[in-house]
Amino acid sequence: MDMFGKKRVAFVLTVVIMFSGLYDLLQVVNANGIAQIVTENMQAERGETVTIPVSVENNPGFMGFVINVDYDSRYLEPAGVEKGAALSGTFDDNSGINVGAFEVLWSGTSDMVADDKLFELKFRVKERAPGGSTVVNLSYNQADTFNENYDNIIFECKNCIITVLGEELEGRKENAVRMEDCSKTVGQNVRIPVMISQNTGIMGFVIHVQYDVNVLRPVSVERGELIPSGSMFDDTAGANSGEFRVLWAGDENIVADGSLFYLNFEIIDSPGDTQVTLGYSAKDTFDNRYQEVALTCGVCVIHIEGESSSEKPTEQEPSERPTEEKPPEEPQSKNVVSMSFVTAYIGETVKIPVMISKNTGIYYACMKVRYDPNRLKAVSVDAGELFADESSFLEIADTGSVGELEIKLSASKNVTDDGCLLYLTFEAVGCEGDTQVNLEFVYGYDSEYEDITLTDASSTVSVWEKRTEQQKPDSSRPTGGNSNTNNSQPVVPGSKPGQDLNGKLKAPARVKVKSLKKKGAKKLQIKWKKIKGVSGYQIQYALNKKFSKGKKNKNVGRSKTSYLIKRLKSEKKYFVRIRAYKTSGGEKKYGRWSAVRSCKAL
């Protein structure tokens, strides 16, 4: 393979590695917030062993997991993994087998539902470790992380930054990535230059940024003077609470010293001091020979002096750029819609989640999506988890303009959670290169029929030619999408056969129930025969045959052929039936109910 081909492959791999876990974020939102796998930052001397607790917060309940642990072998060597007291069942790891990465595996017999410690990671800091900080990166295999219904569980994973204490080793020349301390007041914005010195040459990086969410709110990330315009530069600021990543990939080395990027934060609380900490992913930081580049990452201390006043800061920020920025306008601080960078091979599909944060409430919203029809072909538009209940309504209309769709979302009640509004699925049909998908808000209102405003958003789709099987991204997880979300039938006007473009949607066939059995205390399991071409199934159960007493409904995805009904009343007889449904163009058509089955719960 020529050098240009290697560049493209390395770039794709870098982007996939960077963002493979990102779009799983913010998808599971329960009453307490986002389900998270969390760690703690550490400091250690060379030669010291550190113990990193890994815990779960806002636990939705799960019965098994496979968690991936990536680390920089120049800094660390694994010293063991210990199971947390909250776990019972099979627990194992393969640390020490491969250098730089290993897996931690657990499976139990019932859901773990508590917020507690899962396990502890132990690492020894090497005697010749570079100075600065290194990242222990956590991710998970979604297909192997499930609850007792064998539904996939989605988590946001927090990483651990380990800072190596002590002076830099003599004779070592490291690429130093630093920030300088500064002073600000509550209510002001702070602009932090991230500088590189002793630069030995770098062509791409993934740098982690951690901050205190109670003190700072990320506003934006700007490319620095060293990063060429036109090269790929992106960030995930605002996607996670307390942490985000900054990614760059170029075509040639940058060898000068100077600014890589600028971090912009709003100071929202707590006079005193707070820190912004940097770390980096070793496997995603490289030079033009695709050799890993070591970075020595620093910490910035922000001295917060009190309430906002008309006085200027006592210290000038270390930059020739203006030290002040205007606070963001109100529409930017509420109902923030975001779409992230994704990749796709020509001829394959890519799913783009449309996320909302700082949600003030949505009852109805109309949006337009614009894309280049010479580069992308619209395949489907699916409602996100926030509008997934059967009372919600999704309508997709062809505006008459090529490359433009109008989308209308409505709910049965005010939607106030943060999470996913939509999934946009496109097929890459053009040539290699980057293209944009733009989403524009038209109008909307909340349940009080007060007007709302959503920010516009855009996604860069990086399109590549298909190469060997070894070079393809993992097809088990849709790029940029939520692999726990089932693909529905295409609904976009002008797509392939199988869609209804005239409002005539054929009802699916009647479902045949295979069995209804007791499955432990207060549980029944129903199994049925799968029907092709449906969008999902609705299960209904009640305490009488007329389904008028204690009736409950449950929708499941089209790939399911069984479901475990839980939290039933002991020694009560339940009547259960199931039907399939199809969706297209905002319409949902149900098939006939199956024959009624009954069984007494233990």
Rounded-to-integer distance, Cα 266 and Cα 243, Å: 15
Pairing mode of beta strands 342-345, 457-464: parallel
In a domain, 486, yes or no: no
In a domain, 66, yes or no: yes
Residue range 227-245: mean pLDDT, rounded: 81
Last residue of one domain, picked from the residues 304, 325, 346: 325
| 316 & 187 share domain | yes
- Torsion 416-422-423-428 (CA) sign: negative
In a domain, 485, yes or no: no
Last residue of one domain, picked from the residues 442, 471, 500: 471
| 315 & 381 share domain | no
| 183 & 315 share domain | yes
pLDDT at 486 over 60: no
* pLDDT tens for each residue of 439-450: 999 988 888 888
Query: For 138, how many CA atoms within 13 A lie in the half-sphere containing its CB?
Result: 27
pLDDT at 580 over 80: yes
Q: Give the structural domain span for 137.
A: 31-164
Last residue of one domain, picked from the residues 325, 344, 373: 325
- Torsion 541-551-586-425 (CA) sign: negative
| 267 & 354 share domain | no
And the tokens for 35?
Answer: 């389900």
| 248 & 366 share domain | no
| 129 & 46 share domain | yes
Mean pLDDT rounded to a whole number for the chain: 78
Contact 331, 453 (CB under 8 A): yes
Tracing tokens 């070894």 back to the chain, one arrives at 470
pLDDT at 455 over 80: yes
In a domain, 560, yes or no: yes
Torsion of the alpha carbons at 439, 442, 446 and 449, rounded to the nearest 10: -170
In a domain, 1, yes or no: no
Provide the 3-class DSSP secondary structure of residue 163.
Answer: strand
In a domain, 9, yes or no: no
And the tokens for 503?
Answer: 């409002």
**Cβ-based neighbour number of residue 582 at 10 Å:** 23
pLDDT at 262 over 80: yes
Rounded-to-integer distance, Cα 508 and Cα 535, Å: 9
Does the pTM exceed 0.85? no
Contact 251, 230 (CB under 8 A): no
| 395 & 519 share domain | no
In a domain, 370, yes or no: yes
Domain count, the chain: 4
pLDDT at 122 over 90: yes
Contact 484, 151 (CB under 8 A): yes
Provide the 3-class DSSP secondary structure of residue 98.
Answer: strand
| DSSP structural state of residue 490 | -
pLDDT at 172 over 70: no
CATH of the domain at 75: 2.60.40.680
Rounded-to-integer distance, Cα 57 and Cα 36, Å: 5
CATH of the domain at 559: 2.60.40.10
What pLDDT, on the 0 to 100 scale, is given for residue 293?
A: 84
| DSSP structural state of residue 165 | P
pLDDT at 434 over 50: yes
| 253 & 272 share domain | yes
Contact 19, 481 (CB under 8 A): no
Position 240 confidence tier, pLDDT thresholds 50, 70, 90: low
| 147 & 180 share domain | no
Q: Between 158 and 490, name the one with better pLDDT.
A: 158
* pLDDT tens for each residue of 329-350: 444 457 888 887 777 778 888 8
And the tokens for 298?
Answer: 């620093």
Position 320 confidence tier, pLDDT thresholds 50, 70, 90: very low
Contact 59, 115 (CB under 8 A): yes
In a domain, 358, yes or no: yes
* pLDDT tens for each residue of 12-67: 444 444 444 433 333 333 333 568 888 988 888 889 999 999 999 888 899 999 99
pLDDT at 513 over 60: yes
Tracing tokens 């019965």 back to the chain, one arrives at 63
Alpha carbon of residue 565 to chain centroid:
29
Rounded-to-integer distance, Cα 274 and Cα 279, Å: 17
Position 286 confidence tier, pLDDT thresholds 50, 70, 90: confident
Rounded-to-integer distance, Cα 203 and Cα 374, Å: 31
And the tokens for 128?
Answer: 């010749």
| 157 & 54 share domain | yes
What pLDDT, on the 0 to 100 scale, is given for residue 168?
A: 64
| 435 & 343 share domain | yes
* pLDDT tens for each residue of 79-104: 999 999 889 888 999 887 777 889 99
| 194 & 119 share domain | no
